[in-house]
Structure 1
């Protein structure tokens, strides 16, 4: 009985992760500026991938698979925020953002 519950939870996580990843992709295509696109590319996408990974872990449940899934999760958490930071900084330095949209501008003096 526990396997069936884990399979259902895994399926729900897979579905939720797929929907969040789809929302991230739509946001990247539809949002007007770099900062909005950067937000869409990182926040829902990372959560979507983590839900997909959780769903896979609940469905597979073997030691070697769980180890590989954990490595993918760690790599995703380490790279997505750093890449978004670098994209945002490059867009700021190249003047491709509307500075009127910023609430605070910590890079103005640099």
Structure 2
């Protein structure tokens, strides 16, 4: 019914390990989101977990379909590039917006803006 039965054992093992690593990293990021206290602490764990986790999943996908189709499949490179670029930019924009909000509200727990 599926072509995955044609995947060699070495490739199936490597794909399974990459998928488990990606899922584990995403899970660790989710736990970090739940466990950490402030917004500034919480923002890092899911960002790192999702970036590294999706990277492992996309590498597994590239390997699986490259082996099955006997040619190099690079569709996932675009997804990887977009994730690697957009996730940190989103993190930075969210952190700057929260920092601006906290400074305008007079929150003493955030550092003052740089002089100059």
TM-score strictly above 0.5: yes
Aligned to 2:102, the other structure's residue is in SS state coil
**Corresponding position: 1:10 with 2:15:** yes
* 61-70 or 29-38: bigger deviation: 61-70
Q: 1:6 Cα deviation (Å)?
A: 2.0
**Corresponding position: 1:69 with 2:76:** yes
Q: 1:35 Cα deviation (Å)?
A: 1.4
Residue in 2 that maps onto 1:102: none
**Corresponding position: 1:42 with 2:52:** no
Question: TM-score w.r.t. structure 2 length?
Answer: 0.76
**Corresponding position: 1:32 with 2:37:** yes
Q: How many residues align?
A: 104
Aligned to 1:108, the other structure's residue is in SS state coil
Contiguous gaps of at least 5 residues in structure 2: 1-6
Residue in 1 that maps onto 2:90: 83
Q: 1:88 Cα deviation (Å)?
A: 0.7
When Rg is computed on C-alpha atoms for both structures, the one with the higher figure is 2
Relative contact order: is structure 1 or structure 2 higher (C-alpha 8 Å, sep ≥ 6)? 1
**Cα 1:19–1:107 shift into 2, 3 Å:** same
Contiguous gaps of at least 5 residues in structure 1: 100-104
| RMSD (Å) for aligned C-alpha atoms | 2.6
Q: Distance in 2 between matches of 1:49 and 1:109?
A: 39
